Structure 1
Amino acid sequence: MGDPVFIFGGFPMSLDYLISILKPMLEGAQMTVLLFLIAIVASIPLGFLLTLAVKSSFKPLSWLAQGYIYLMRGTPLLLQLLFICFGLPMIPVIGEYLVLDRFVAACLGFILNYAAYFAEIFRGGLLAIDKGQYEASKVLGLNKWQTMTRIILPQMFRIALPAVTNESVTLVKDTALLYAVAVPELLHFAQTAVNRDFTIVPFVVAGVIYLIMTIFLTVIFKWLEKRLKFE
């Protein structure tokens, strides 16, 4: 008696085949999750520092931060990844010292890119706070540090959280770009299975895995929004 055949995503397949492709794809998903966690943990604080730099009264620092944000947001993430992985080692004299592990290079590219986007999100959050908040803080006798940490930043994060949620979901999907720099993640194993078996079922499975990850992430952020009494 042969393996049971069922329909998955509109395509006939056996349970044994699904299991055979699912194992390496889940291993690839671990790399996807690892990159996401590293990028989100590092890029959010860096983005906030960039926001402070943009608002700095020291103009050269402000201009430098703004130029960085324009550069990272104005060029494709894929191009940035390719430059870090393959372009840096080609720089004369110092190139040999800039050869990075592919995964490390990818993490660096994602952090630098998403920090620029988070910086703009946080800047928008600061701009949305009424100037009366600052005046009220002065009346209460709060200094600049107390005003920022107790009054401004909590409001900024509440305002910025929905945009941070959207950007984080985009980050999960953008991890598929690891495939372009030869880092074995989820899409890499899906493409390998497609080329080997001449079926698009692995792409369907990969899509389901990505969907599960983004839904899980969205649920967490929605819970966080409610905890912060955003809604």
Structure 2
Amino acid sequence: MPSTPALTSIGFDADDTLWQNEHFYRLTEQRFTEFLADHAEPHHLSARLLEAEKRNLQHYGFGIKGFTLSMIETAIEVTEGRVPASVIQQILLAGREMHSHPVETMPHVRETLEQLAGSYRIILITKGDLFDQERKLAQSGLGDLFNAVEIVSDKTAATYQRIFARHGDGPERSMMVGNSLKSDVIPAIQAGSWGVYVPHTHTWALEHAEAPLHEPRFKQLAHLGELLGVLEQFGAAR
């Protein structure tokens, strides 16, 4: 790690870093392919759904609502407008049920945050639907461990520069921890922060990117419990 002023702020992604998320999307997508099994093969439906999601990001943003609308759009397209109303109803119900899944925190999350709290400014930085993210944070029981919460429409270098300037001592004295190279790690490094990658078994295809292995501010962990050791290694822990 480069020699820089002491680290004072740590940002954490939420979905698939602090709690399970993509797993529920995968289960719902499987149900979606079953709804339309008479019209197309599962792999074809999944590919068409991903195309719709990509197109719709600029209109609906990230989250369950956009995913549900993309499923409906895909169903209409693959059936050439003949999708039964009963299938649309099933899709809407599946999307609604995603909002009711209990929050399942990832291993090592609470103990890691508890050990960091008080020594660093801890910031939750997540993107997606405001209502859904607030619901998951409340149900997680982790809310009191954060000094600040930022729910944003997207994550870019400018996003991290703004947030770490607002809640910390600037990006050069901050770290971002998350499971997405594209959203959590690379733009944070571009902003001047450290980027810590904690891979998840399931990562949305649109979040994939090449790991910046040659960046001195990049670190990869097997799980969140290794974060304290990383902080000690470059002398940032206090």
TM-score range, shorter chain: under 0.3
Which one has a larger percent strand, Structure 1 or Structure 2? 2
TM-score (norm 1): 0.22
Higher share in helix? 1
